[in-house]
Structure 1
């Protein structure tokens, strides 16, 4: 991944070579730190072949840089992972009307994800995001209306809580569902995972906006143990919670995180589609003034 100097001549060349989709792709890579070939295919392309061809061109232009992580012997081959290149950062900085230093890009930091212990976690979060977008591109009436990456969530709420993502999902006639995502890879203790609820309870109380927290868990046994611990935590009464794992699929069609995988903490079942969580919790969103008053018979 050789470095390239950014100069006016190169920026002029890129202005002529980059399409609107290319610029959206660069923005997505920057916002989400690293995206793989399958993830970028889900977001922007109709076929893997088309993605490969365009991503090779973007790599040759230097606007993205790519790597393959080292895998254990026998684990097979890995797709390419893409991070923002310095010329790509210069393009985005120009769009934003700031210089490169104000934009916040540093090549060494962009490439550091390749060696980070959080690489698998970041890619897992981005799988969730791109699976929803990919589903919406195939299904009329579905859409990920908003998605905030971990980077953006940290900038917004980092002094209280640091979600792995924040989204708004809409499918067919269902009310839109706003949610926080916690992607659990199984590497943290359950105590540490459950303590995150304290921050979400504080955010709910301070903002007076009720937003569910969705735990996307690695396996069903881990999910069952997590649910038990969550129910025992006092903050679970202040925040709507649902858990899911892909192996808990109901039915024969795998719609990914949009599908019938979600189990609210307040019921034993059945599992619901992501969009139906908004129906299960009808009081999501801003609390009304009346909801803040105690009942008349309260002491």
Structure 2
């Protein structure tokens, strides 16, 4: 029997975030909606939501022995979100089979890394004076808009001191050959030439060696497409508002902040 609890506004925002990002860990939810990574309030509330069958949880089979719980949107949660729009779960893109497959998918590290990138942008914007994360379009919406040319992981708008930076986001786990990653920039260049959309492309990588290698091979935009690279650790701290972005092809390896990427 499903437990009955009153959903708060924060609960609804958690459900929406799970729908958008597909999977979030307890620390990520704690950072986004509570008072930090190790928030006990986050743990308690998520368990309450699980009792109501609005969220599900799992620990990755191939994960570290002390990996945190990973949370997904459950069917009842999808019904709640859809019902508030007068739609069905299927109409908002909820697929129970896809949710189950994610638990054992080889794409799980990419999904979690991309979610952590979002968490870093969102929390750093909150902590930075006059900054805000105005937009985060997930992969599905990006594909609808630009799928004929490119398939970014996300598209964001960062606003700081009345300056807007729109950018494509590519989260790189390091598994793709460098040549294949470099080929993406040619497609971004084609998009820019056809539509005049010359938003920077932000690559977020898992370590400094991959960063160095990508900066070497990604300078193929022909001036049409600025490409900037950072590591997930740097994005998390000190954060995107700080000078952590290295432009591909820059021999001086100058580091720039978000508002310097315009």
8 Å Cα contact 2:216-2:249 kept in structure 1: no
- Who is 2:46 aligned against? 55
Q: Distance in 2 between matches of 1:138 and 1:64?
A: 28
- Who is 1:145 aligned against? 134
Select the structure that is richer in helix: 1
- Stretch moving more, 268-277 or 75-84: 268-277
- Who is 2:258 aligned against? 274
8 Å Cα contact 1:174-1:275 kept in structure 2: no
Matching of residues 64-103 of structure 1 within 5 Å: 64-71=55-62, 75-103=64-92
Q: How big is the shift at 1:120?
A: 0.1
SS at match of 1:177: strand
The structure 2 residue matched to 1:40, chosen from 23, 29, 43, is 29
The structure 2 residue matched to 1:209, chosen from 171, 188, 197, is 197
The structure 2 residue matched to 1:258, chosen from 211, 235, 241, is 241
Matched, 1:184 2:194: no
8 Å Cα contact 1:31-1:152 kept in structure 2: no
Q: How big is the shift at 1:178?
A: 0.6
The structure 1 residue matched to 2:110, chosen from 116, 121, 138, is 121
Q: Distance in 2 between matches of 1:264 and 1:225?
A: 12
- Who is 1:285 aligned against? none
Q: How big is the shift at 1:83?
A: 0.8
- Who is 1:105 aligned against? 94
- Who is 2:228 aligned against? 242
8 Å Cα contact 1:62-1:87 kept in structure 2: yes
Q: Radius of gyration: which is bigger?
A: 1
- Stretch moving more, 188-197 or 199-208: 199-208
- Stretch moving more, 131-140 or 19-28: 131-140
TM-score (ref. length: structure 1): 0.80
- Stretch moving more, 80-89 or 265-274: 265-274
8 Å Cα contact 1:246-1:256 kept in structure 2: no
8 Å Cα contact 1:168-1:178 kept in structure 2: yes
Q: Distance in 1 between matches of 2:110 and 2:60?
A: 14
Q: Deviations over 1:11-68 (max 9, x none)?
A: xx56xx1111111111110011111111111211124111111111111111110111
Structure 1: segments with no counterpart, 5+ residues: 279-299
Q: How big is the shift at 1:258?
A: 3.4
Check 1:90–1:247 CA distance in 2 against 1; reply closer, same or farther (3 A cut): closer
Structure 2: segments with no counterpart, 5+ residues: none
Q: CA RMSD in A?
A: 2.2
- Stretch moving more, 259-268 or 86-95: 259-268
Q: Distance in 2 between matches of 1:69 and 1:145?
A: 32
